[in-house]
Amino acid sequence: MNFEMSSNPQPKVLLFGAGSVGAVYLYLLSKITDTTAVCRSNYDTVKENGFIINSSIFGQGVHFKPNVVRSCEEAAPKTSELYDYIIVCSKAIPGGVPKLIAPVVTPGHTAIVLIQNGVGIEDEYLQAYPNNSIISCVVYLPASQRPAGVITHGEVEKLQIGAYPSSASSVRAQAFTELIKSGGGTAECFDDVQPKRWLKLLINASWNPICALTLSKDTDVLAASSEATEVLLAVMLEIRDIAASYGHTITREEVEFQLGRAQARIPKNAGIEPSMLQDVQASRRIEVEAIVGNPVRMGKEKNVPCVRLEMLYVLVKALDIQISKR
């Protein structure tokens, strides 16, 4: 695939999904690129007032006012200035986004960057855009947006980046990594980012559904009963076993370390609200398939026992359906 950056001296970037994570990366990239953001529920607020970011890393009361649009149709390039990157930061809910971003994707030119949770999320983009670079990113960035336009960001910001599939050229992934770093972010490019996705899934597929179903922060779940720690560990070990069946090794020590992070925050009263809990509280659809459904199906394909994870899937799937009816 031959690629030439647009004639604009700055890379041209469109961010789709300006939630809490998207807003932080929009801020970083706005320093060094020509950025536009597709905002939906927060469009009116951001259009008028911009974003305010309160971050333990990037500072308090950071205000910036990006160029925002309501849809990709509105953002579609009207001149020869094509988008170099489309960054998808929306929820990883299958079936919709590849079609929605079509007006801003130029075949053979635009790289599609997925800053989303879960596993098995890339294939629908690869099928829709076989001639475009797909860049898969694992993100560690605890943040929330309450009220609209006001972002609260915690102590971590990290992107783990790789081309998808791993056999594809990594040129665009490496270029995007350097772009994030130039904007002041933390990023590392890997030959294969999928093991990093599975490692994060230890957190996502365990804490997200349990916290969403109980309307509790992670530390509150652990403090609620003496059995909670062993249940969380058992769920994480199922995820570890599914990952191993696909060639991705996660040690028991890594599992216990991830669980220990939440345990260590109990005395500090520093519980975290995972994204799925935040979505339920706001009556938004949740990332059931990417975070829980896909790994369950992948485990069954390899005959890996995952009865606890499957139970969580059945429950959060029903919850998501009820939310969609509201």
70-111 pLDDT per residue, tens: 999 999 977 678 999 999 999 898 888 999 999 999 999 999
* Cα 251 from Cα 289, distance rounded (Å): 25
Same fold: 12-192 with 195-324? no
Q: What does the domain layout of the chain look like in residue ranges? A: 12-192, 195-324
What percent of the chain is modeled with pLDDT above 90? 89
| CATH number corresponding to 195-324 | 1.10.1040.10
- Full-prediction pTM beyond 0.95? no
pLDDT for the residue 8: 57
Q: Is a pLDDT exceeding 50 seen at residue 6?
A: no
Of all residues in the chain, what percent carry a pLDDT higher than 70? 97
Arithmetic mean of pLDDT, 45-54:
96
DSSP string, 222-264: HHH-TTHHHHHHHHHHHHHHHHHHTT----HHHHHHHHHHHHH
Work out the end-to-end distance of the chain between its first and last CA atoms, rounded to an integer number of angstroms. 45
Record the tokens describing residue 170, joined without a space: 């990594």
Structure confidence at residue 67 (pLDDT): 96
Mean pLDDT of the chain: 94
* Interval 108-149: pLDDT, tens: 999 999 999 999 999 999 999 999 999 999 999 988 888 999
Query: Region 297-323: what's the mean pLDDT?
Result: 98
12-192 folds as Rossmann fold (3.40.50)
What is the DSSP secondary structure assignment for residue 105, as one 8-state letter?
Answer: P
Q: Reply yes or no on whether the pLDDT at 26 is more than 50.
A: yes
DSSP string, 32-97: TSEEEEE-STTHHHHHHH-EEEEETTTEEEEEE--EEESSHHHHS-SSS---SEEEE-S---TTTH
pLDDT at 9: 78
Q: How far apart are CA 49 and CA 74, in angstroms?
A: 20
Which one-letter DSSP state was computed for residue 144? E
Q: Are 142 and 156 in contact (CB under 8 A)?
A: yes
The sign one gets for the Cα dihedral 46, 75, 288, 242 is: negative
